[in-house]
Amino acid sequence: MAIEQIKMPQLGESVTEGTISNWLVKVGDRVNKYDPLAEVMTDKVNAEVPSSYSGVIKELIAAEGDTIAVGEIICSIETEGGEVVTAEAPAVESKPEALEGTADSVSAAVRPNKARYSPAVLKLSQEHGIDLTRVSGTGAGGRITRKDVLQWISAAGEKAAAPAAGQAVSQEKGQSAVLNQPAAVPAANVPLAAGDIEIPVTGIRKAIAANMVRSKHEVPHAWMMVEVDATNLVEYRNSIKDEFKEKEGFNLTFFAFFVKAVAQGLKEFPQMNSMWAGDKIIRKKDINISIAVATDDALFVPVIKNADEKTIKGIAREISELAVKVRNGKLKAEDMQGGTFTVNNTGSFGSVQSMGIINYPQAAILQVESIVKRPVVMNDSMIAVRDMVNLCMSLDHRVLDGLVCGRFLARVKEIIENMSKSTISIY
């Protein structure tokens, strides 16, 4: 007999951890290779973790609701034949440099005079100024888990919320007072008034929040906007949308035209299709457009692969299929991977101007706002009602400068303004 371990897989680009939302098996169950074991939530995808072996479930190491770093063990399976496989994975020393340039997680173990922690634990402790030697571990072998650190933060926050005499340290006249409190006080300590409702933060919402904070903290965002006259595009699309829906079985949305225009612009300005990688900039060969798809409580970013090689019809089909997957909870890890540039359809809920947060590690995100009718001066001599749309772009100023971004947006504007029955084909 052999004991094999199932580890938390990496379910998306830049994903470092996942939350066990639901175990689909229990101890003693017999499973076959590729059978689903658990449902996992990350900031990018809801997915099932398949079994890598056939055998009997020996132990469920992670509990439902636990957030586990990529590479850490979540359960063990007893298989026939072979030797027992040890559960320990490579570890790193507890120093900040161990976090740089890696999304892989390692198991943590406590050894005399040399503590080892997972990158997720190290990062969280550094963000909140926590001395990990003061935290008690509940993981295997006494290791400190991310959940242990979160509980320590919560406990420290509760102590800070209670008034205490002598908390303020008096200073010499003219100097400020210093409060003796932890580096971070969790939001759970916000006072509640009559009628207030507490809504628990789900694992996926925590993951989304962490990714957004990382992007805003690490990426120097800059912003620019262009105004586009989409009148010809609107007339063309409206003239064929009903026939298209009847023939193809899905909608021909305005968004498909904008994604096509962006893909063409990226092909002509490949600098925009780049990523920051610390000591270098990586210019991506493939043009893979990430699109934001929202549900009531989460945001997913599936990817249209090789968008520059697809027709408008092909892009419209993928947008429709990916949206259905999101709504039905069928989005797979591979649907979320490989994105190089994000286009967000903020106009779908009436926005006319917005500033998106860059989808790390990409270098830019483009917001396509609502198409609205506005009076526009034409040929310096007349005023006409036109269908206008704002394109708003956030950019990583480490990777991109205003000159290339301005030229890229001007080209996308030109492409859209010249879209009509006589200039483009949707097939």
DSSP H/E element including 229: strand 221-229
pLDDT at 184: 40
pLDDT at 207: 73
291 domain residue, yes or no: yes
DSSP 177: P
Instruction: Verify that 202 and 232 share a domain, yes or no.
Output: no
173 domain residue, yes or no: no
Instruction: Verify that 334 and 392 share a domain, yes or no.
Output: yes
Q: How many CB atoms lie within 10 A of CB 417?
A: 15
397 is catalytic: yes
Instruction: Verify that 289 and 349 share a domain, yes or no.
Output: yes
Q: Which of 29, 35, 221, 397 is catalytic?
A: 397
pLDDT at 419: 96
171 domain residue, yes or no: no
Instruction: Verify that 409 and 348 share a domain, yes or no.
Output: yes
Question: pTM here?
Answer: 0.62
Cα–Cα distances in Å, from 43 out to 226, 303, 359, 398? 30, 15, 11, 24
Instruction: Verify that 260 and 207 share a domain, yes or no.
Output: no
pLDDT at 206: 74
pLDDT at 60: 94
424 domain residue, yes or no: no
Q: How many CB atoms lie within 10 A of CB 28?
A: 9
Instruction: Verify that 63 and 205 share a domain, yes or no.
Output: yes
Instruction: Verify that 100 and 157 share a domain, yes or no.
Output: yes
Place of tokens 């591979």: 334
CATH number at residue 2: 2.40.50.100
Compute and round to an integer the Cα radius of gyration of the chain: 26
The angle subtended at Cα 314 by Cα 309 and Cα 319, nearest 5°, is: 115
Listed in sequence order, the residues at least 6 apart from 234 whose beta carbon sits closer than 8 Å to its beta carbon are 254, 371, 387
172 domain residue, yes or no: no
Cα–Cα distances in Å, from 183 out to 179, 186, 223, 262? 11, 10, 31, 43
User: Are the beta carbons of 356 and 342 closer than 8 angstroms?
Assistant: yes
387 is catalytic: no
In the numeric block, which tokens belong to residue 384? 């006409």
Cα–Cα distances in Å, from 225 out to 188, 233, 268, 282, 355? 38, 20, 19, 25, 9
The total of structural domains in the chain comes to: 2
Instruction: Verify that 158 and 224 share a domain, yes or no.
Output: no
For residue 48, the enclosing domain spans 1-162+182-188+198-214
First to last CA, the chain: 57
pLDDT at 82: 46
User: Residue 402, SS3?
Assistant: helix
267 domain residue, yes or no: yes
CATH number at residue 326: 3.30.559.10
Instruction: Verify that 203 and 251 share a domain, yes or no.
Output: no
pLDDT at 99: 32
167 domain residue, yes or no: no
Task: Going residue by residue through the chain, which has 427 residues, state the pLDDT in tens, using 9 for 90 and above.
Answer: 789 999 998 877 667 888 888 899 999 999 998 888 998 887 666 778 889 999 999 999 999 888 888 899 999 999 976 444 433 333 333 333 333 333 333 333 333 333 556 656 776 776 677 878 788 877 656 778 777 777 777 776 555 444 443 433 333 434 433 333 334 434 446 788 888 888 887 766 777 777 788 888 889 999 999 999 999 999 999 999 999 999 999 999 999 999 999 999 999 999 999 999 888 999 999 999 999 888 777 778 999 999 999 999 999 999 999 999 988 888 888 898 899 999 999 999 899 999 999 998 999 999 999 999 999 999 888 999 999 999 999 999 999 999 999 999 999 999 999 999 999 999 9
User: Are the beta carbons of 39 and 24 closer than 8 angstroms?
Assistant: yes
Instruction: Verify that 136 and 225 share a domain, yes or no.
Output: no
DSSP 307: G
Q: Tell me the one-letter amino acid at 341.
A: F
132 domain residue, yes or no: yes
pLDDT at 140: 56
pLDDT at 273: 97
Instruction: Verify that 258 and 147 share a domain, yes or no.
Output: no
- Rounded Cα distance, 58 and 29, in Å: 8
Instruction: Verify that 106 and 42 share a domain, yes or no.
Output: yes
The angle subtended at Cα 368 by Cα 366 and Cα 371, nearest 5°, is: 160
